[in-house]
Amino acid sequence: MSCVWFLLLLAGLCLVSGKYIPPGPRYRCPDKPLFLYPCVCTSGGDDGIAVRCDNSNLASMSVGLANLATLRAPVRELIFSKCNIGKLYGSALYPLKVRVLRIEDTPLTSIADHTFQGINRTLQELHIVNSRLQEFPTKAFQVPQVSYFDMTPSDGHCACPSSRDQSCDYHLARK
């Protein structure tokens, strides 16, 4: 009888095998993709989520960005690509915790003075590529945490305070 119990126990141990399953990313994309519409969460991760907004306007994106703020997740990278934004203004970015902001292939002509207020607590990199900025908005770019700033206008003309050839790359010393 004890031999039977021993065999049953041995068979049970053979059938039960433990395996470590690593946890998923700390921050995940929302379950409902339309939650951030017109923006899309492209990936989650332990350091935040990545969000991309394509072919949209500022009014539509404000709704998606407001929903993004309710997640209270840090945003590793926020990309505005081929958006119909001439003037970047308002408080849509204020509640977000964004580390890298990319604005690319967008006909951006001006940026209001306090556009980056709020986001300046976490913003480390700012990339503006193929824009139409007419002048360098110095008040808008007074963001103390930014360690890298890249501005490449579409016409090759640099609107930065110090004239450079094709792009304006700033590697700023952290305070």
Q: Quickly count: other Cβ atoms within 10 Å of residue 153's Cβ.
A: 20
pTM of the complete model: 0.76
- Contact assessment for residue 86 and residue 108, using Cβ atoms and an 8 Å cutoff: yes
pLDDT tens for each residue of 107-159: 999 999 888 888 888 999 989 999 998 777 777 766 666 666 677 665 554 44
Peptide bond into 38 cis (omega under 30): yes
Q: Tell me which fold the domain 25-171 belongs to.
A: 3.80.10
The domain ranges of the chain are 25-171
* Token pair listed for 35: 């939650």
| Cα distance between residue 24 and residue 82, in whole Å | 32
